[in-house]
Amino acid sequence: MKKIDFFILTFLFLCSIIVKSSFGFRFLFLLYTSLIIYKNIAARAEKNRFFKFLKKICKLGYYFFILTFIFIEGIILKDILVNRNKDPKVKCLIVLGAGLKGDVPSEVLKYRLDKAVEYYEENPNTIFIVSGGQGKDELISEAEAMEIYLSKRDIPIKNIIKEDKSTSTYENLKFSDEIIKQKGITGDIAVMSNSFHMYRVKIISEKLNFPLKTVYAETPAIVFPNYMLREYFALLNEYRKN
């Protein structure tokens, strides 16, 4: 391995550890590692049939990644552009959790909650279901932190229902649906998340046969590329399950 490759890998590896929330650095570390391996395979391919075969497999893998990445990211971006400013009036709005820093909502989650406050100001009779369990590095459940945040911004506690058991988007929707049925809530239901997340949310809601309208919250620009990259792999996983 060349010194420059070693330094780049070390830098990416350290960044992936230090910036725990950044999926991008971990991905770049793995991608750069794969390129180093590919270069070594390609160097041996001219004299060895086995390595020539491996080189073809690697190329196919890269082509698959590039084509599917463009396709999936294009679908997500189109969905955002078409639906981001359509906020339907509904009886109940499910707000999905997005991680805490101790007991404080993450920056991404704050965008969702601030959008919920805006929505309440225009629709004061709305019931909010705040959905999110407690992660291993979180002091309280996401649902509790969300309730505290919203109540401090003048949304009455009586308008907020906590769903504090979920650990995934699938469980967010499944458990929220169960609460809606238990509470006998009728009328239109919508779900809110950040723009990058909403396309996958809609796919999961269809799987659950849980018809939902959608409200799109913005995403902090600085983390948007990171979350778009994560969604690529998350959506691939959803398609695989089908």
Whether the predicted pLDDT of 159 surpasses 90? yes
pTM of the full structure: 0.85
Exposed / middle / buried, residue 23 (Cβ in 10 Å: 0-12, 13-18, 19+): buried
* CB within 8 Å of 199: residues ≥ 6 apart: 75, 76, 79, 80, 231, 235
Query: Residue 2's closest CA among 34, 30, 39, 45?
Result: 39
Q: What's the rounded Cα separation, in Å, for the pair 177 and 211?
A: 10
pLDDT in tens, 13-69: 777 777 666 677 777 878 888 888 888 888 888 888 888 888 899 999 999 999 999
Whether the predicted pLDDT of 102 surpasses 70? yes
More confident residue, 73 or 10: 73
Q: What is the average per-residue pLDDT within 207-213? A: 94
Q: List the chain domain ranges.
A: 3-82, 87-241
Query: Could you tell me the fold of the domain covering 87-241?
Result: Rossmann fold (3.40.50)
